[in-house]
Amino acid sequence: MSLERPDTVDDGAVEQTPDELEALLGDLVVDRDDHLNAPGFVIRPDTVQETLRTLKQEAGYDHLSVVSAQEYENRYESIYHLKKYDDPTQEVSIVVPADKDDPVSESAEPVFRTADWHEREAYDLIGIEYDDHPDLRRILLPETWQGHPLSMDYDKDRPQIATLPEHANPLEDHHKDAESDTMFLNIGPHHPATHGVLHLKTVLDGEQVADVEPDIGYLHRSEEQMAQSGTYRHQIMPYPDRWDYISAGLLNEWAYARAAEDLADIEVPEYAQVIRTMGAEMCRIAAHMLALATFALDINGDFTATFMYAINDRERVQNLLEDLTGQRLMFNYFRLGGVVWDLPEPREEFFSKTRDFLDQLPESVEEYHNLITSNEVFQMRTIDTGILPPEVAKNYGATGPVARGSGVDYDLRRDDPYGYYDELDWDVVTEDGCDNFSRLLVRMREVEESAKIIEQCVDLLEDWPEDERNIQANVPRTLRPDDDTEIYRAVEGAKGELGIYIRADGTDKPARFKIRSPCFSNLQTLPEMANGEYIPDVIAALGSLDVVLGEVDR
Amino acid sequence: MGTAPAQLFPEFIVDTLGLDSVIGEVAASLVAAFVVGNIILAFTGVAGPWAKRKITAAFTDRIAVDRIGPYGLLIIPAAAVQLLAKELIIPEGVDRPSWDIAPILLPASALLGFSVIPMGQLGPINLHLADPEVGFALVFAFASIASVSLVMAGYASNNKYSLLGGLRAVAQNLAYEIPLIVTAMSVVIFSGTLQMSGVVGAQTETLVTIAGVSIPSWYAFVNPFAFVLFLTANMAEIGRNPFDIPEAPTEIVAGYQTEYSSAYFVLFYLGEFVHIFLGGAILAVTFLGGASGPGPESIGFIWFVVKIWGFFLFTQWARAALPRVRIDQLIEIGWKGMLVLSFANLVLTAVIVGVIA
């Protein structure tokens, strides 16, 4: 059966009870602070590396999903949400309080490379300093920014104007070197291949890339802050559509829905779950089609037919999504406890349109294989370029098609089931090539798997008895989850693990709302793939990562 | 067919108008060059704003320019006005005057190439400006000036992307020009002359007759291998997919063109199109029998136009379908593959011609 996990048992799959973990960590644990999703251990801020290393090496917690940081009345706090790639239902949270007056905490970067960016973000937005961090700078906000916007004493009314002299040309002092053989090149923030506003600080040695450093934050819109000022029940749901805006909206909405529903203990009717599953997979097809289209653009050049073909196919899914949700991009279709409305009437028409699309899809996929993946030049360009070994991918917290293209068998739809996925028959796609080609192939094959899921959902929905079509659970008008409950929940977005951390404080708005963006972690792997390769390979690697800057910067 | 080459265009003007003096001949030459140049520029005008868009749209499943005029044809004057009316932005630190000369050099070099191309007859007029004995070598020499222009533009723009584009252009042209010319020389071995009219004339004989249809001895039929080799090298020479590496908009943002706007950009754009047409013309003359085709010789020009537009169509097709190779892969294909093959072809041709003839 496709949904069974491989039965090879290694250390990673052995489940430890919270008490066993506490025994393993021994003196490191100062206190317990359990979250709804995982046991939580409070440790001293100078034992972060030791704790995480113990958990990684001796208990198999090899996936640092996210670092969420926040400020309390009396302390700062960083939480390291750990999981296992083999079984993401095994979670543990490491809570690291830091001093209110001098918030310093040890960096986890030497243990998990992915902590690099996550801790920089925590420093940038909250103001916690991480000791032993290799490069603690602001990441989302400009270098000249004053204050930390998510900290408690931040003055929101203070104008932040970076004057021109403060934004001096970074090339002037340290990049210009008469002796040097290398050339510094800014790729972006406005460049045809950065798929948005991404800035790659590249050091070139001839045509080869000596070093590349992604510079993000150009599309930062304070999404976390906005979610923190909205009410759980209604005001947050429209925002997720704006994270990964490549029509992956329903997948994002589900991330918030899942976290909030688990937080407030809401049971979603089965019928609504089937509709959600179907809609989410339509979004996945649309997102992967665009990834395919833009990747072809990067490899083939800007007049490639593949781009328009893929856009045409995406258009057909978009039409279906428009019929379902009434919107083409910013769907706002999910509600806590269900969806906003039932399938469009007449239902038969919607079903037959969906089936038409599914019938035609294999032909399109075949055409893409003809056009690009079986083209020798294309293979020459993408095979064995942008290599990301599985261990490196895990170390950087890569998820989604990027991880699966490196042979990491990790898909939350199967490993941490939600919605209706565990009732359906489909497969998780992995490829072992670890290169640009594999990542593309994973997406193309996932489109076919998504089509299988949609087909089964349509079958189910067609036969659903009319009087059991319950699209919405009973949810109180105002949700006030208990004070000091915390939860981290993730779903499989189009780009990977899209997670939400919420801390409730007894009011109808979250006290802390942290988004774990898969693109944010995936983009961090770019230097690993690109260093030593040619410029076109960097572009290809970036394209194969399929980042959406709206989700990276939030 | 196979008659002596008809009178050249400038001589025709001299004879028709009875201009016997030196000044008259110079004037006639200028008029003839003006006519030929304008024919090519007219092609470019049609190709750039209109035909290219229509063709690409057809390949990529969409609708292109169809709002202005019949079949959208009035987009041509509209685009001309729009492009010329734009502000010419001169970036800080550009190296003038080479920054200004480069965009002129590119179309000029390509247009010069047409001076020796026999474009066939249109009624009594033979559209052929000059027929020197080394015409065949001249046309390649003219075409190669283009890379000088690209390097100038790339270097003078004071932009790193442009610089990369310029360097790529040199590397690419070196890697492909040699196989291109060596392959062309195999044709010269067949024809025994470097004179354009001679090369074309040698292709008019009948190769074989199948069911009453006589197949002319176009070199594409005589030596299809050399034809494919030449076609590939030609695509690299004019910098089209899969070899549009010096521009590569998704990598180095149009390379040497990055900093050019308004009229200068038009000149570059124009130069590229003229280059495509020159590439087509060289291909037609070398391998496709020049202006020959069914029907009387007096409509030869029409066949010639069909051939070069056919080549244009081919470049656009490649553009829609083929991925771009990487610069190091291109160099490798050029030096390790094409060069060897082209020399093999040359030696083989020499042996065959030496033994048979």
Q: How does DSSP assign B204-238, residue by residue?
A: -SEEEEETTEEEE--HHHH-HHHHHHHHHHHHHHT
Burial (CB count <10 Å: 0-12, 13-18, 19+), residue A274: buried
Q: Within the 155-184 window of chain A, which residues sit less than 8 Å (CB to CB) from chain B?
A: 183
From B111, B135, B181, B134, select the one nearest B290 (Cα to Cα): B135
Number of CB pairs, chain A paired with chain B, less than 8 A apart = 87
Whether B92 and chain A come into contact, CB under 8 Å, resolves to no
Distance of alpha carbon B3 from the chain centroid: 27
From A419, A422, A426, select the one nearest A455 (Cα to Cα): A426
Rounded-to-integer distance, Cα B114 and Cα A398, Å: 57
From A247, A242, A210, A377, select the one nearest A324 (Cα to Cα): A247
Whether B242 and chain A come into contact, CB under 8 Å, resolves to yes
Whether B164 and chain A come into contact, CB under 8 Å, resolves to yes
Cross-chain residue pair A309–B250, CB shorter than 8 Å: no
Distance from CA of B151 to the nearest CA of A (A): 16
pLDDT tens-digit readout, B138-178 = 888 888 888 888 888 888 888 888 888 888 888 888 888 88
What amino acid is encoded at B147 in this protein? S
Listed in sequence order, the residues at least 6 apart from B98 whose beta carbon sits closer than 8 Å to its beta carbon are B152, B155, B156
A542 phi, psi to nearest 5 deg? -65, -45
pLDDT at B357: 62
Write out the two tokens for A554. 């939030």
Rounded-to-integer distance, Cα A254 and Cα A526, Å: 28
Distance from CA of A77 to the nearest CA of B (A): 42
Cβ contact B31:B39 at 8 Å:
no
Cross-chain residue pair A377–B325, CB shorter than 8 Å: yes
CA dist list (Å): A207 to A181, A551, B252: 12, 30, 11
CA dist list (Å): A385 to A213, A434, A542, B283: 18, 9, 11, 36
Of A305, A378, A534, the CB nearest to B59: A305
Rounded-to-integer distance, Cα A257 and Cα A241, Å: 12
Whether B325 and chain A come into contact, CB under 8 Å, resolves to yes
From B41, B38, B35, select the one nearest B273 (Cα to Cα): B41
Q: List alpha helices for A3-90, DSSP H.
A: 18-25, 48-58
What amino acid is encoded at A29 in this protein? V
Is 0.90 exceeded by the ipTM? no
pLDDT at A491: 92
Identify the H or E element spanning A387.
none
Low-confidence ranges of chain A (pLDDT < 50): 1-10
Cross-chain residue pair B251–A375, CB shorter than 8 Å: no
Write out the two tokens for B260. 């050019």
Burial (CB count <10 Å: 0-12, 13-18, 19+), residue B236: buried
Listed in sequence order, the residues at least 6 apart from A385 whose beta carbon sits closer than 8 Å to its beta carbon are A435, A436, A533, A537, A540, A541
CB contacts of B326 in chain A (<8 Å) are 380-381, 534, 536-537
Mean pLDDT across B177-191: 87
Please list the residues that pair with A487 across neighbouring strands. Answer: A502
Whether A470 and chain B come into contact, CB under 8 Å, resolves to no
Cross-chain residue pair B325–A537, CB shorter than 8 Å: no
Bridge pairing between strands A92-99 and A40-43: parallel
DSSP A472: B
Rounded-to-integer distance, Cα B84 and Cα B71, Å: 23
Cross-chain residue pair B328–A207, CB shorter than 8 Å: yes
Rounded-to-integer distance, Cα A551 and Cα A491, Å: 14
Rounded-to-integer distance, Cα A331 and Cα A323, Å: 11
Residue A468 CB neighbour total at 10 angstroms: 9
Mean pLDDT across B64-71: 85
Cross-chain residue pair A371–B61, CB shorter than 8 Å: no
Write out the two tokens for A271. 């019928």
Bridge pairing between strands A40-43 and A75-83: unpaired
From A255, A248, A247, A227, select the one nearest A239 (Cα to Cα): A227
B2 pLDDT band, cuts 50/70/90, is very low
Rounded-to-integer distance, Cα A431 and Cα A450, Å: 17
Cβ contact A95:A44 at 8 Å:
no
Three-class SS state of A427: coil
pLDDT at A4: 44
Listed in sequence order, the residues at least 6 apart from B349 whose beta carbon sits closer than 8 Å to its beta carbon are B186, B189, B190, B223, B226
Whether B250 and chain A come into contact, CB under 8 Å, resolves to yes
Whether A314 and chain B come into contact, CB under 8 Å, resolves to no
Cross-chain residue pair A193–B329, CB shorter than 8 Å: no
Whether A528 and chain B come into contact, CB under 8 Å, resolves to no
pLDDT at B186: 86
What amino acid is encoded at B297 in this protein? E
Distance from CA of A378 to the nearest CA of B (A): 6
pLDDT at A172: 56
- Which of A143-177 are b and which e, b meaning 16 or more Cβ less than 10 Å from the residue's Cβ? eeeeebbbbeebeeeeeeeeeeeeeeeeeeeeeee
Cβ contact A457:A274 at 8 Å:
yes
From A217, A263, A229, select the one nearest A479 (Cα to Cα): A263
pLDDT at A165: 61
Residue B185 has pLDDT above 90, yes or no: no
Q: E-assigned strands of A363-446? A: none
Of A378, A535, A537, the CB nearest to B323: A378
pLDDT tens-digit readout, B319-339 = 888 888 888 888 888 888 889
CA dist list (Å): B156 to A327, A333, B98, B246: 50, 54, 6, 15
Task: Find, in chain B, the residue whose alpha carbon is nearest to that of A368.
Answer: B321
Write out the two tokens for A173. 């002092």
Rounded-to-integer distance, Cα A131 and Cα A129, Å: 6
Kindly report the pTM of this predicted structure.
0.85
From A209, A293, A287, select the one nearest A252 (Cα to Cα): A287
pLDDT at A171: 55
Distance from CA of B93 to the nearest CA of A (A): 16
Whether A205 and chain B come into contact, CB under 8 Å, resolves to no
Which of B172, B250, B272 to mutate to test binding with chain A, by most A CBs within 10 Å of its CB?
Answer: B250
Bridge pairing between strands A183-187 and B121-122: unpaired
Of B168, B244, B323, the CB nearest to A299: B323
CB contacts of A305 in chain B (<8 Å) are 59-61, 320-321
Asked if residue A189 has a cis previous peptide bond (ω within 30° of 0), the answer is yes
Comparing A71-80, A476-485, B201-210, B232-241, the range with the smallest average pLDDT is B201-210
Task: Find, in chain B, the residue whose alpha carbon is nearest to that of A190.
Answer: B253
Whether A119 and chain B come into contact, CB under 8 Å, resolves to no
Whether A376 and chain B come into contact, CB under 8 Å, resolves to no
CB contacts of A300 in chain B (<8 Å) are 241, 322-324
CB contacts of A372 in chain B (<8 Å) are 323
Please list the residues that pair with A94 across neighbouring strands. Answer: A41, A80
Listed in sequence order, the residues at least 6 apart from A310 whose beta carbon sits closer than 8 Å to its beta carbon are A289, A290, A292, A293, A296, A368
- Which of A71-109 are b and which e, b meaning 16 or more Cβ less than 10 Å from the residue's Cβ? beeeebbbbbbbbbbbbbebbbbbbbbbeeeebebbbbb
- The Cβ-side half-sphere exposure at A48, using a 13 Å CA radius, reads 30
Whether B62 and chain A come into contact, CB under 8 Å, resolves to yes
Write out the two tokens for B136. 């065949």
Write out the two tokens for A393. 């991918």
From A65, A64, A21, A57, select the one nearest A40 (Cα to Cα): A21
Comparing A220-234, B141-155, B195-209, B259-273, the range with the smallest average pLDDT is B195-209
Which of A377, A385, A435 to mutate to test binding with chain B, by most B CBs within 10 Å of its CB?
Answer: A377
Cβ contact A283:B307 at 8 Å:
no
Rounded-to-integer distance, Cα B153 and Cα B11, Å: 38
Bridge pairing between strands A486-492 and A497-504: antiparallel
B234 pLDDT band, cuts 50/70/90, is confident
Rounded-to-integer distance, Cα A452 and Cα A327, Å: 24
Of B244, B320, B325, the CB nearest to A305: B320
Residue A264 CB neighbour total at 10 angstroms: 21
Cross-chain residue pair B253–A372, CB shorter than 8 Å: no
Whether B324 and chain A come into contact, CB under 8 Å, resolves to yes
